[in-house]
C-alpha cells in the first residue's frame, strides 16, 4: 500500500526504548530550573 500521511502514523505506532517522562513533569522541571537560575542571579 502507498504510504499515507508521509509515514506519520507508522512513526507514532512504533515503541521506542528509553526513559518515559510525563509532559507535566518535564514542564515543571523546566520552570523550576528557570526560577532557580533567576534566584541565583538575584542573590549571588
The answer to whether residue 6 sits within a structural domain is no
Count the domains in the chain.
Answer: 1
**What residues have CB less than 8 Å from 3, skipping those under 6 apart?**
10
The answer to whether residue 13 sits within a structural domain is no
Give the per-residue pLDDT at 39. 97
Q: Greater confidence, 28 or 12?
A: 28
Residue 32's domain spans which residues? 19-44
The span from the CA of 9 to the CA of 44, in Å, is 49
H or E element at residue 25: helix 23-43
How do residues 22-41 score in pLDDT, each as one tens digit? 899 999 999 999 999 999 99
Amino acid at each position: 500500500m502507498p504510504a499515507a500521511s508521509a509515514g506519520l502514523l507508522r512513526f507514532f505506532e512504533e515503541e521506542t526504548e528509553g526513559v518515559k517522562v510525563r509532559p507535566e513533569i518535564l514542564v515543571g522541571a523546566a520552570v523550576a530550573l528557570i526560577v532557580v537560575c533567576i534566584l541565583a542571579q538575584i542573590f549571588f
